[in-house]
Amino acid sequence: MSLTTDELKAKAEVYYGDEICHLCTQLLLREAGLPNGLLPLKDLIECGYVQETGFVWLKQSNRVDHIFHSLGRLVSYGTEITGYAEKGRIRKVKGIKTRELMLWVPVEEIALDDDPATGKLVCKSIAGITKTFPASAFHIPEKENNVKANCAALKPVVLMERAPRVVKNS
């Protein structure tokens, strides 16, 4: 069952094909300030972005199971991945699961730690499990053909600003 409808696609910038979708994915991660190796997807067939809401989707031909060797973590990326991209995070994520003990746990949010100096990435699940990892574990050195140069033909991604946190004084 697809989470993207024709009505949603009418409001979005939609791209087709592996190469352009990989460029869009890299541009999205760069603009969000997230590590470039966070979404190691293969054979992308479609991607889209609704600038008004920040909704993004990525469709690939098959599910991809990826091991982040430096963390010893297995992550499964479904055929359709959706979420809302903002500066420093992707929230309401669907289509990404991580292996915890003997269970596959859906990832609901991926965000940079509130203290940017720590360089930590926080992954939250629907089940209430929160894991923190070094953001560098998800970084891949870029090739000589810089992503920025390759993405010059694409429209820049304009992400919604992260809402400030309100701290109540008691």
H/E segment holding residue 10:
helix 6-10
Which pLDDT does position 147 carry in this prediction?
52
Structure tokens at 123: 């992954």
Quick check: is 168 in a domain?
Answer: no
Average pLDDT over residues 4-29: 88
Average of per-residue pLDDT across 157-161:
52
pLDDT at 3: 66
Instruction: Tell me the C-alpha to C-alpha distance, in Å, between residue 74 and each of 53, 63, 80, 104, 130.
Output: 30, 13, 18, 10, 16
Is there a contact between 120 and 134 (Cβ–Cβ < 8 Å)? yes
**Residue 63 clears pLDDT 80, i.e. is over it:** yes
**Quick check: is 148 in a domain?**
yes
User: Structural domain tally of the chain?
Assistant: 1
Q: Does residue 140 sit within a domain? A: yes
- pLDDT exceeds 70 at position 113: yes
Region of poorest pLDDT, from 96-105, 112-121, 122-131, 137-146: 137-146
Q: Which domain holds residue 97?
A: 6-153
Asked if 49 contacts 28 with a C-beta cutoff of 8 angstroms, the reply is yes
Going by pLDDT thresholds of 50, 70 and 90, the confidence category of residue 94 is very high
